[in-house]
Amino acid sequence: MSYRHSIGCSLENLKGIRDFIRGTLRGHVHSEVQLNEIVLALDEMCSNLIIHSHQCNPDDKLELRIQFRTGNQVVFEIVDEGSQFNINEFHSPDLSHLVQEKRKGGLGIRLVKTIMDSVEYTHQGNQNICRLTKRL
Of the candidate spans 47-55, 67-75, 80-88, 117-125, the one that interacts with other proteins by CB under 8 A turns out to be 47-55
**φ, ψ for residue 127, nearest 5 deg:** -95, 140
CA–CA distances in Å: residue 4 to residues 23, 62, 82 = 12, 10, 20
Query: How many of the chain's residues bind other proteins (CB under 8 A)?
Result: 32
The reply to whether 30 sits near other proteins by the rule CB under 8 A is no
The reply to whether 115 sits near other proteins by the rule CB under 8 A is yes
Cβ atoms of 90 and 82 closer than 8 Å? no
- Which residue among 75, 111, 129, 136 contacts other proteins (CB under 8 A)? 111
The reply to whether 15 sits near other proteins by the rule CB under 8 A is yes
